[in-house]
Structure 1
Amino acid sequence: MFSFLTRVVQTARCFSTSSALQFPKLKSHNGTKKRWRSIASGKFKRAQAGHKHLNVTKSPSRKNRLAQTVYSHGTQTAKLKKLLPYGSP
């Protein structure tokens, strides 16, 4: 009987006053974390796809264009801010 009461008291104890007021932590999307980086303006940047292999048949200008950084825009930025809640400034 006594051990039951001590367990109830221990679970009801709250050592931090602010922990009850905070929302649960949000999880970042792992696929988005691997592909996108946030920048100071609030947008995101990523590498252009299609640059890693099968480059023999591509023209030099196309390979140069694929080597450039791509930035997010418009509604894409809003979606990325939801997927990476702690990555955006």
Structure 2
Amino acid sequence: MMINRTFLDGLSKADQDLIRKAAKEAAAWANEKMKTGELKLLIELQRKGMQVVIPDADAFREKAKPAVEELFRTEWPVTTWAEILAQ
């Protein structure tokens, strides 16, 4: 969700909290709908003969780690994954 910072800052703390809570709930709902839809589509494609390869996410993370760390140092306004997850 996007909202104008000036508008949000002009709201009461209670209203800001309400908007943030609603945004988190909406994002969780949308993520669940997307996962369900993707799973149904994947099952249908497999039923029609598509071969599905699920990559090793940990291997991708390990290979990407040096590039991501470089971006933290040179490009991004945060310095760690923990900072990203805290937002």
Question: TM range, normalised to the smaller chain?
Answer: under 0.3
Which structure would you say has the larger RCO, counting Cα contacts within 8 Å and 6 or more residues apart? 1
Higher helix proportion, which one?
2
Higher strand proportion, which one?
1
Q: Which structure's CA Rg is the greater one?
A: 1
The alignment's TM-score, normalised by the length of structure 1, stands at 0.23
